[in-house]
Structure 1
């Protein structure tokens, strides 16, 4: 199972790094813990960079630069036990503090374009990872994989990526802009904005009216668990499969609630954006009135629908990542990864 994430950014962090005296090796100091995780960053894109951010470093610490026209590729290495698939594609390696939440920010600057993305990451103790960063058409893509060896066989297991940001960094810099404040509320403004938001909600945004009944839920869980048993073909205790069933059940409940959660957050965001407009601009967005600016109303609703789709996708990824973490902890507890290459790896 693999997850690809795409993204684009407007600012050029890479250009700043090129001008920096530390751009070849970067400013990030390798973690000193004996059980530090190791990460290999691989990219063949122009001026590709990887920065490590946390609550103490909202501006980020750079790890070096790859494929720059004026600078040699960094030869930063940390003696990873599993080699790269190819020495032809440039890469660098770093040590990361284990069990600490980080934000990894990737960026590249090519001819007339900038591409980048970020994701939250908690490196596991003594684990090894590969992070690839490349382009497909006009979009950049990245994939993170956990490296491990099972009975002499090297396995690269994909890890789901979710960007949760860093709450304490909000307002610190351009990467974490502070949301603009709204104008004072009035009964008239509140009524107008509520009308705009309520009439923007379309059928696909509404939560499913019917949920799985208990019989259908049990059947779905049985199907997933039995399929997994057949795939693994391992002698595992009943306690393992009891917890596995519970994890699947929790996932189904969380997944069922995504649409309702997305709609609630959509309403909050839409109201917040409208609160920043003056009253006459709000009136222009109210449907079917003499003051309605149809073009502007359609454009605003269209932008918010795109926001809803991005939000829904993000929430689905978070649910999947939570389940992935639970399954990885379970497989680790019962030593599954020593016997089964396709085990859950966090």
Structure 2
């Protein structure tokens, strides 16, 4: 996926520079509970585009930090302010509960970077995605914004990048998948299975330590009760409290399996747009062109695995935070205890 994004990352800049509006073509969502997203760029020539089945060519939101054009002034009245160091920013509204495929691009004198993120915004929530450069590399951070008791918080969000299947074959960015045949299916299955086996041998699973043991959890509960002082909660609260940590441990133990599911899905997608002649010699390349393609794919997929593994870990933690926050809301904990869970 990243390979395709890098090839065409400059297209958004070109199309935007020729567009009539500095604010781009993306219309803000109109739902009263729309989610809000802030895009911050600390690099030059940066754009944020949105794609869906009806807009496979993408819809632009403006341009940031370009010396030929003034920055877009798109704002949607977000509660949490941007960081003081933000070089350029724009804000948009997103339809709640609707999957989003967004692509960030930046284009410098000697570099081109692109990053795609797939996520589903929650109603009324605020998000922030930031693009930076550090030591010659492009760095993307994606966070949910929250104001609690007058304090602003930024909660890391997973950055999953999954193929937008609905747009396959619509534009060069979304290549057309080659029709499946029994032979292609067998080749792809063999390549994926072999790659996964080799990959696991070269990158053995890191044992996942349970976030909490029964002993440490009971100690945590005892300290929490002591901190609450005279404020006591029914046993039903503490029963669910323990259950939530049990779920956390279960999800943590399944992180590697979930990561590999994403990995295999994207690997299959990349192979689905690869010619038969290349697939036939994928495992044992006989020419330099195919050998280079396989090596480049391995490099991209290794980076994809590393990034996805981090995102799965963030997802597990966020699921736990959400469950604990809902628990404290139901028992009205935050009204009487300032160290309640909130997400």
TM beyond 0.5? yes
Alignment of 1:222 onto 2:214: yes
Task: Tell me the TM-score normalized by structure 2.
Answer: 0.75
Displacement, 1:119?
Answer: 0.3
| Structure 2 match to 1:289 | none
Alignment of 1:253 onto 2:253: yes
| C-alpha distance in structure 1 between counterparts of 2:20 and 2:41, whole Å | 22
Alignment of 1:9 onto 2:6: yes
Aligned pairs (5 A) from 1:133-152: 133-152=131-150
**Structure 1's 199 and 9: CA in aligned 2 closer, same or farther, altered over 3 A?**
closer
What stretches of structure 2 of length at least 5 have no aligned partner?
A: none
Aligned pairs (5 A) from 1:25-174: 25-86=23-84, 89-174=87-172
| Structure 1 match to 2:19 | 20
Displacement, 1:170?
Answer: 1.9
Displacement, 1:160?
Answer: 1.9
Give 1:306's match in structure 2, choosing from 280, 289, 299. 299
| C-alpha distance in structure 2 between counterparts of 1:71 and 1:86, whole Å | 22
Displacement, 1:330?
Answer: 0.8
Displacement, 1:65?
Answer: 0.8
| C-alpha distance in structure 2 between counterparts of 1:175 and 1:264, whole Å | 20
| C-alpha distance in structure 2 between counterparts of 1:275 and 1:36, whole Å | 42
Displacement, 1:331?
Answer: 3.1
The answer on whether the counterparts of 1:47 and 1:67 sit within 8 Å (CA) in structure 2 is yes
* Deviation readout 1:153-174 (Å, 9 max, x if unpaired): 1212222211123222222222
| C-alpha distance in structure 1 between counterparts of 2:206 and 2:20, whole Å | 60
Three-state SS of the structure 2 residue aligned to 1:9 is helix
| C-alpha distance in structure 1 between counterparts of 2:273 and 2:168, whole Å | 18
The answer on whether the counterparts of 2:256 and 2:309 sit within 8 Å (CA) in structure 1 is no
The answer on whether the counterparts of 2:106 and 2:113 sit within 8 Å (CA) in structure 1 is yes
The answer on whether the counterparts of 1:103 and 1:165 sit within 8 Å (CA) in structure 2 is no
The answer on whether the counterparts of 1:240 and 1:330 sit within 8 Å (CA) in structure 2 is no
Aligned pairs (5 A) from 1:202-213: 202=198, 204-205=200-201
Over aligned residues, Cα RMSD in angstroms?
4.4
The answer on whether the counterparts of 1:38 and 1:80 sit within 8 Å (CA) in structure 2 is yes
**Structure 1's 39 and 269: CA in aligned 2 closer, same or farther, altered over 3 A?**
closer
Give 2:309's match in structure 1, choosing from 316, 319, 322. 316
The answer on whether the counterparts of 2:40 and 2:128 sit within 8 Å (CA) in structure 1 is yes
* Deviation readout 1:178-224 (Å, 9 max, x if unpaired): 234578739xx979x95997599547438979989xxx96x954377
Alignment of 1:331 onto 2:327: no
**Structure 1's 298 and 131: CA in aligned 2 closer, same or farther, altered over 3 A?**
closer
Displacement, 1:64?
Answer: 1.0
The answer on whether the counterparts of 1:35 and 1:98 sit within 8 Å (CA) in structure 2 is yes
| C-alpha distance in structure 1 between counterparts of 2:339 and 2:123, whole Å | 19
| C-alpha distance in structure 2 between counterparts of 1:115 and 1:83, whole Å | 26
Three-state SS of the structure 1 residue aligned to 2:81 is coil
Task: Tell me the TM-score normalized by structure 1.
Answer: 0.74
The answer on whether the counterparts of 1:251 and 1:319 sit within 8 Å (CA) in structure 2 is no
Displacement, 1:258?
Answer: 5.2
**Structure 1's 206 and 125: CA in aligned 2 closer, same or farther, altered over 3 A?**
same
| C-alpha distance in structure 1 between counterparts of 2:302 and 2:149, whole Å | 42
Displacement, 1:48?
Answer: 0.8
What stretches of structure 1 of length at least 5 have no aligned partner?
A: 287-291
* Deviation readout 1:242-294 (Å, 9 max, x if unpaired): 33223223223312535865886699679868871179x73x964xxxxx849
